[in-house]
Amino acid sequence: MYLQPIFSSADIKKSLQQYHKMYKQVDNRWKSHIKIIQNENARVLDFCAMDLLKEAINEDITILDKVQKHLEN
């Protein structure tokens, strides 16, 4: 399920505030990772090898799974 269009809706933001906040946390972190790669002109594979990034991505996957499960119910 693609979540961005869902959480772009003002009605969804209001009715699912907790899940919108969780989604935005993941979205903002992802955008931050991309900016770091662009600004550092880093190789993506080198960046992905970082342990902290792996932990962050695993945490983000867990959060997105919770959001998606709630939306499916």
pLDDT tens-digit map of 20-61: 999 999 999 989 888 877 777 667 777 777 777 788 889 999
Contact indicator for 10, 16 with CB cutoff of 8 Å: no
Mean pLDDT in residue range 4-14: 85
* Per-residue pLDDT at 42: 66
Q: Domain count of the chain? A: 1
pTM, two decimals, is 0.75
Domain that holds residue 52: 4-72
Separation CA 73–CA 11 (nearest Å)? 18
Helices and strands (H, E) in the chain, number of each type: 5, 0
Tokens 């946390």, residue? 25
Mean pLDDT, rounded, for 14-22: 91
Copy the structure tokens of residue 34.
Answer: 């991309």
